[in-house]
Structure 1
């Protein structure tokens, strides 16, 4: 068999998704997620103009060779757009190979290493009572690990707080959520404000209150979202040590990886990094110097099943575990692939799980399950995801952007 066609499907059932569907000459289809939040059409163009024409006629079984062809065969390498396009092709080919074998994908990756994937949910609130209600709500849904984000006194909007950053006001004046995401529909990004000193003072008091209310056993996580300098990150990590975090995520922009040495020197709080990283090369220094504890890259942005498996194998040498990025801008296709990979690898840590909307599941019909705080793959051949063309066509692309961030003096800051 060979690849006969490849289609780029764009749909917006509550938020935008880009999906690649590859069809073989024998009519077997495979799906891959190519969504890059806020830059979706860039990947659409990359796929349609530069990748799809190369795929027709290739042997669909030669997954590694196709990966190398698209990565090493192009002079311009790496980056989120290129790696999302490669990820979509790679994931779709793994879906096809598993369907031809008549097995769920995880069986081709070595079989089960565990029965399910421990997940964490996103609890948030503008103040402590609202945060406590959100934690209880997530516990009632079955989550056994909770990410905690909270409002900061004096700031009207804060990353990760559902009551503020995840809402948008339409032209009709109606406030509506954008599928549990901080991205919001519109022609330009929303601008938010930030005060680092206020955050550093406030966040330890939040975790003290949460521990006092919910006890020492509940695994708690927190995302600093790249907003701190190395010394600020070290200070926050040390201040949170009494509250025994599962991890502290993205404490500082990690392009300069040497800065993590300073953070590591000053705190024993576990560190998670990498949701904006795209290749194994981004992690070399972090792994070899053991500067982090969890890898955050998703399959969708790190070159697919092949790319992320390579990263995890490298991480395992240094006792570093997976913590795959799982927001709702990773489609159910990307999430399903992460579940199959996570169930197989020896160094699984935890899986982020933000539940997609009912409209999204009308377009992407899945067989994975969430129960007892764990995600489990289904037993259908392949990824276990089918794309409904009619439902997808009912939701046209709508421009949407993640916010930008400014300090109180008006200068740009990391978002």
Structure 2
């Protein structure tokens, strides 16, 4: 069974997605997600100009060999663009193989290890009453675990808070919701401001209030979004210990693996790292020194099902679990792949789940379900996601970027 064609599909049903569709000479098709938020056209070009010509005529069943061909053969390895392109090919080929086998994809990965995936939703509020309302809303929707993000006094807009001043405003000042994502449509990113000391003072009071209101049983998560130095991260982790977080995410930029040692030395709050990591080499030292507790990479940015399965298998040696990145900049194709993988692996932890818009579901028509706080895969052969070309053609690409962040003195800071 040979690859006959490969199409790069760029569409924007409320936000931008890059999808690869591979078709075999027997007419079987497979989908892969290659979306890189704010850099969509880069990966689309990488696929169309450099990957697609290499695929034509290859045996669609040789998934591992194709992965190695695209990774080793390029010489210039790793990075989000390369690994997203490889991920799209890999996921599409797994989709095809499962369709040919007549099985849902997870059956080819070893079958079920659990009935469904515990997932967490995104609750937020500029102030506590709004935050409490958001938590209750997510509980009513069925979420059993909640990520808590809150406004910081004195800052008009803060990451993860849906009601922030910039949450629905482009860099040009136009009001426009972008599928509930931090990215904003426009030619340039919006700018936000940040005050680390104010955040460090404020965040323990938020979790104290949430625990007092919702009790000790509700699993709570929080994302520091790379904004802290190692010692600041250690301080925050320690200050949150009384509130029993499920995890504290991305406390500090982790490109320098050694910095997590300082955080680990000072706090027992579980740490989740890696939504911007792309290969097993990004995690090697973190695993071997047991500096983190959860792996955050998505299928879409970590080399596909093949690449992320390798990462999870290595993590399992050190009792580290999965916590796959799953906001709306991962398409339903990427989310479906994560669900199939999460159902099968032994070291599943939790799945991020941010619901896509109705327009996105019209484009992709996913078959997975969310019931009683659990995500469950489609039982149809393959990934269980279809792509509607007519809907895609009606939603052209529109430039959109994640915000940038500055300290109060104007210095550029991690967003």
Whether TM-score is above 0.5 comes out as yes
Q: How far apart are residue 75 of structure 1 and its match?
A: 1.2
**Alignment partner, residue 70 of structure 1:** 70
RMSD over equivalenced CA pairs, Å: 1.1
**Alignment partner, residue 32 of structure 1:** 32
**Alignment partner, residue 301 of structure 2:** 301
Q: How far apart are residue 169 of structure 1 and its match?
A: 3.4
**Alignment partner, residue 60 of structure 2:** 60
Q: Determine the C-alpha separation between the residues in 1 that align with 2:312 and 2:350.
A: 13
Q: Determine the C-alpha separation between the residues in 2 that align with 1:302 and 1:313.
A: 14
Structure 1 residues 173 and 280, CA gap change in structure 2 (3 angstroms): closer
Q: How far apart are residue 170 of structure 1 and its match?
A: 6.4
Q: Determine the C-alpha separation between the residues in 2 that align with 1:318 and 1:348.
A: 13
Q: Is the 8 A contact 2:295 2:320 kept in 1?
A: yes
Q: Determine the C-alpha separation between the residues in 2 that align with 1:373 and 1:194.
A: 33
TM-score (norm 1): 0.99
**Alignment partner, residue 355 of structure 2:** 355
Q: Determine the C-alpha separation between the residues in 1 that align with 2:307 and 2:217.
A: 34
Q: Determine the C-alpha separation between the residues in 2 that align with 1:173 and 1:47.
A: 33
Q: Determine the C-alpha separation between the residues in 2 that align with 1:211 and 1:176.
A: 34
Q: How far apart are residue 181 of structure 1 and its match?
A: 0.5
Q: How far apart are residue 165 of structure 1 and its match?
A: 6.2
CA deviation vs aligned residue, 1:177-205 (integer Å, no higher than 9, x gap): 21110000000010000000000000000
Q: How far apart are residue 176 of structure 1 and its match?
A: 3.2
Q: Determine the C-alpha separation between the residues in 2 that align with 1:19 and 1:174.
A: 28
Structure 1 residues 267 and 173, CA gap change in structure 2 (3 angstroms): closer
Aligned runs of 1:367-382 on 2, under 5 Å? 367-382=367-382
Structure 1 residues 343 and 187, CA gap change in structure 2 (3 angstroms): same
**Alignment partner, residue 328 of structure 2:** 328
Structure 1 residues 165 and 263, CA gap change in structure 2 (3 angstroms): farther
Structure 1 residues 171 and 111, CA gap change in structure 2 (3 angstroms): closer
Range 163-172 or range 379-388, more displaced: 163-172
CA deviation vs aligned residue, 1:133-162 (integer Å, no higher than 9, x gap): 000000000000000000000000000000
**Alignment partner, residue 248 of structure 1:** 248
Structure 1 residues 345 and 165, CA gap change in structure 2 (3 angstroms): farther
Aligned runs of 1:381-396 on 2, under 5 Å? 381-396=381-396
Q: Determine the C-alpha separation between the residues in 1 that align with 2:154 and 2:166.
A: 18
Structure 1 residues 220 and 412, CA gap change in structure 2 (3 angstroms): same
TM-score (norm 2): 0.99
Structure 1 residues 171 and 147, CA gap change in structure 2 (3 angstroms): closer
Q: Determine the C-alpha separation between the residues in 2 that align with 1:380 and 1:167.
A: 37
Local SS of the residue matching 1:209: helix
**Alignment partner, residue 195 of structure 1:** 195
Q: Determine the C-alpha separation between the residues in 2 that align with 1:68 and 1:165.
A: 45
**Alignment partner, residue 118 of structure 1:** 118
Q: How far apart are residue 168 of structure 1 and its match?
A: 2.5
Q: Is the 8 A contact 1:166 1:181 kept in 2?
A: no
**Alignment partner, residue 283 of structure 1:** 283
Q: Determine the C-alpha separation between the residues in 2 that align with 1:166 and 1:369.
A: 31
Q: Does 1:318 align with 2:318?
A: yes
Structure 1 residues 347 and 187, CA gap change in structure 2 (3 angstroms): same
Range 168-177 or range 361-370, more displaced: 168-177
Q: Determine the C-alpha separation between the residues in 2 that align with 1:97 and 1:312.
A: 22
- Runs (4 or more) in structure 1 with deviation over 4 Å come to 170-174
Structure 1 residues 314 and 191, CA gap change in structure 2 (3 angstroms): same
Q: How far apart are residue 166 of structure 1 and its match?
A: 6.4
Q: How far apart are residue 174 of structure 1 and its match?
A: 6.3
Local SS of the residue matching 2:308: helix
Q: Determine the C-alpha separation between the residues in 2 that align with 1:189 and 1:173.
A: 11
Aligned runs of 1:199-238 on 2, under 5 Å? 199-238=199-238
Structure 1 residues 389 and 288, CA gap change in structure 2 (3 angstroms): same
Q: Determine the C-alpha separation between the residues in 2 that align with 1:275 and 1:257.
A: 15
Q: Determine the C-alpha separation between the residues in 1 that align with 2:383 and 2:188.
A: 35
**Alignment partner, residue 146 of structure 1:** 146
Local SS of the residue matching 1:313: helix
Unaligned runs of 5+ in 1: none
Unaligned runs of 5+ in 2: none
Q: Determine the C-alpha separation between the residues in 1 that align with 2:38 and 2:353.
A: 20
Q: Is the 8 A contact 1:118 1:373 kept in 2?
A: yes
Local SS of the residue matching 2:152: coil
The number of equivalent residue pairs is 415
Q: Determine the C-alpha separation between the residues in 1 that align with 2:39 and 2:278.
A: 15
**Alignment partner, residue 292 of structure 1:** 292
Q: Determine the C-alpha separation between the residues in 2 that align with 1:166 and 1:146.
A: 23
Local SS of the residue matching 2:162: coil
Q: How far apart are residue 314 of structure 1 and its match?
A: 0.2
